[in-house]
Amino acid sequence: MNFLKRTWAEINLNAISSNFKRLRENINCGTKIMCIVKADGYGHGAERVSMELQEAGADWFGVSNIEEALQLRKNSIDKPILILGYTPPEMAKILKDYNLTQTVFSLEYARQLSESAGLCGVDIDIHIKLDTGMGRIGIPVCEDIKNVVETAKQICTMKNIAARGIYTHFARADEGIHDNSQTKKQFELFLNVTEALQKDNIHFELRHCCNSAATLSHPEMHLDMVRPGIILYGLYPSPHIRGVDLIPAMELKSVISMHKTIEPGCSIGYGHRFTAARKTKVATLPIGYADGYTRVLSGKANMLVCGKRAPVIGTISMDQCMIDVTDIEGVTAGMTVTVIGHDGNEHISVEQVSDIAGTINYETVCLIGKRVPRLYFKDGDIVAQLNYLQNNNSLICSK
């Protein structure tokens, strides 16, 4: 594992399974769980994370596109998979061959998918997406639901597609229970449509609308299935949402590739944005914005060395950055540095890094680059590793 001499991410699989089980204990009895593992499992590595979640009892998986779905199918994931985004209609046969459920978000797209499936001689399972206020994809729903009900009825009667589910997505559920009027409005619109369809004897096996935030905050909206994402990885959707104790699954580590002492008045990095005011010990690390450690953190963030905080100094480069280790004893080349995670009594969280960068925890973990290998731990042992630049992106199991 020579890559450990550069930069890597450690993924705690026990944390993944624990977060899932705690979630299971806090949702309504009989409600299924669709685990959202899009964007490479929010940067944690979709293959191994999905295997862990399937073993823990996941009912469904949710992905963004057909490529992500096929990745799961080719790595022993046999639970139902919903593609949340667009799939070209001409790929209908692949949807069927791999037992994938496709989101349908407009009458036109439903017709195209139905026609393509018919030409291939296959039947495809679909879930209808309603846009109750998110404003992305979905059949638009307003106070007068007649048109959307009629559209849904037409879709449900089309040949070669079977509407097994119907869902929507909340736009502001992460604002918490103190400002949930918009979430309640979206939920009411969703129920109005599904109840109107039920009166016309159109029923769905699965109705779902709760993302991570709503799953934690609105048990009355769980319905037949919830769709947690960020909370599976031990991160909260916002500071306003709690309710379940989560364990962050990812830590990001690097090493000191070089250290030196510079004199007062010496500058380092692009633009010389740091000039030493005293004799300063500088450590260089092989991590930069191409690895997901964004340039915005320059001169603002800290890392952990020997259990102590070391300020990031100078401008973060594409491949490297520098920290001030003047006040830390015993620093040597090759020493491990914690970029995100624990070291002794100190801790740098994803949220702390995100706040400094002016973004959210979702983006911070998703941006961890593909040249950063993922190392998977379970019960304290390394059980697998994923190196995107070697082994054809395949997961290597250690035990």
**Residue 138 and residue 135: Cα distance in Å, rounded?**
8
Q: For residue 9, how many other CB atoms are within 10 A of its CB?
A: 26
For residue 284, report the phi and psi dihedrals to the nearest 5 degrees. -100, 135
**Greatest CA separation found in the chain?**
80
Q: Considering 38, 96, 129, 253, which one is annotated as catalytic?
A: 38
3-state secondary structure of 325: coil
| Cα–chain center distance at 115 | 33
Is 233 among the residues known to form the active site?
Answer: no
> Under a CB-based contact definition with an 8 Å cutoff, are residues 119 and 101 in contact?
no
Known catalytic membership, residue 270 = yes
| Residues 6+ away with beta carbon under 8 Å from 103 | 82, 83, 84, 85, 126, 127, 128, 129, 137
Alpha carbon 167 to chain centroid, angstroms: 19
Task: Report in angstroms the alpha-carbon separations of 361 from 305, 356, 376.
Answer: 23, 11, 20
92 sits in which H/E element? helix 92-97
> 147: Cβ–Cβ under 8 A, 6 or more apart, which residues?
none
Among 5, 74, 270, 300, the active-site one is 270
As annotated, the active-site residues are 38, 270
